[in-house]
Amino acid sequence: MTFALPDLWILVTLAAAAFQTVRFMLQKHLSTDTLSAGGATFARFLYSLPFIMVLLLAYLGLGDVSLPQVGAGFWGFGLLGAVSQILATVCVVLLFKQRNFAVGITFKKTEVIQTVLVGWLLLGEGVSALGFAAIALGILGLLILSGAEGAKGIKLSDLRNRAAGLGIVSGVLFAFSAVSYRGATMAVSTEDAVLRAVVTLAAVVTMQTALMLVWLRLREPGEIGAVWSARRVALWIGLTSMGGSLCWFIAFALQNAAYVKALGQVELILSLLASTLFFRERITGRELVGMGVLLGSILMLVLVI
């Protein structure tokens, strides 16, 4: 079975969501038992960088292609995306320590709507009316999923806890990183979407690793050593991070970031399934309804684009 190029972004986005689900599970383990939020974030970049560099060299060598030139906006978009993603990841790791984790993650997922706004502001990319309707339906599904069994939606009082604040801030930052990464991939001078993604990913993760290295050295003495000591688990974070990031970047190179993020909401369904299959947790009736609404929005999104 073959897929046309416009369909490729769907496949790689689904793969990215799967990789990200596994990575967040591993980061939750490390941030809870071993590392600080900064250390768990640094581990993601540090242990993925060698794999990304090997991938870039292998792609250039096996494809017999040279490193493409980049436009003036590449480094600006790349740096904005790198810093935004670092801060967003720290917020999410801090969420793992909160009792109101579900509420915080729900507000984090509003990044889909925020990505629409940021994409319009930074790149002038909007979405169609049907596309926006599909995104709005997905947000409704997320709100249903966020509450406990028998709860009636999200109350304004939920905004008063630290988890909600972390979720909202991370959503804004992830929106900026997604749109910035699309801007950076578009500034790479090649028609090869995979090469554009790998070049951008290598540049961004190098910047992130350097920034986090300096930050931890100055602000969290000893944490770099703790990251090295945790390498047996952190190595897998690096591998899953590389796989997920590469897929996200390919998707951003092919499609509007808002649509990519909207389809990426399937990650929440994968997380619920992982909780059921691996941790033997029960899925409530409310969660089943929310998953159904979210799946409907994803199918609608795929059909209208």
Spatial CB neighbours of 186, under 8 Å, sequence gap ≥ 6: 123, 196, 253
Give which of 2, 13, 3 is closest to 254, Cα–Cα: 13
pLDDT of residue 283: 65
- Per-residue CA distances from 186 to 116, 217, 289 (Å): 17, 34, 38
- Domains of the chain: total: 1
What distances in angstroms separate CA 59 from CA 55, 192, 194, 197, 224, one per listed residue? 6, 11, 9, 11, 31
Give the pLDDT confidence score for residue 166 in this predicted structure.
79
- What's the burial of 187, exposed, middle or buried (CB within 10 Å: 0-12/13-18/19+)? buried
Question: What was the pLDDT predicted at 157?
Answer: 54
- Reduce the DSSP state of residue 70 to 3 states and report it: strand
Question: In the 8-state DSSP scheme, what is residue 188?
Answer: B
Give yes or no for a contact between 165 and 213, defined as CB atoms under 8 angstroms apart.
no
Q: Distance (Å, rounded) from C-alpha 197 to C-alpha 250?
A: 5
Residue 141 is predicted with a pLDDT of 75
Walk along the chain (305 residues) in steps of 10 and give the mean pLDDT of each run: 60 88 68 72 88 93 90 93 90 68 62 78 79 78 62 53 75 91 93 93 95 93 89 83 89 87 79 66 71 75 67
Model-level pTM? 0.78
- C-alpha 137/C-alpha 5 separation (Å) is 27
Asked if residues 199 and 70 have their Cβ atoms less than 8 Å apart, the reply is yes
Q: What is the token pair recorded at 126?
A: 């909007």
Q: How many residues are listed for the chain in this entry?
A: 305
Domain that holds residue 200: 5-304
Contact 107, 162 (CB under 8 A): no
**What distance in Å separates the CA atoms of residue 185 and residue 254, rounded to the nearest whole number?**
9
The pLDDT of residue 35: 77
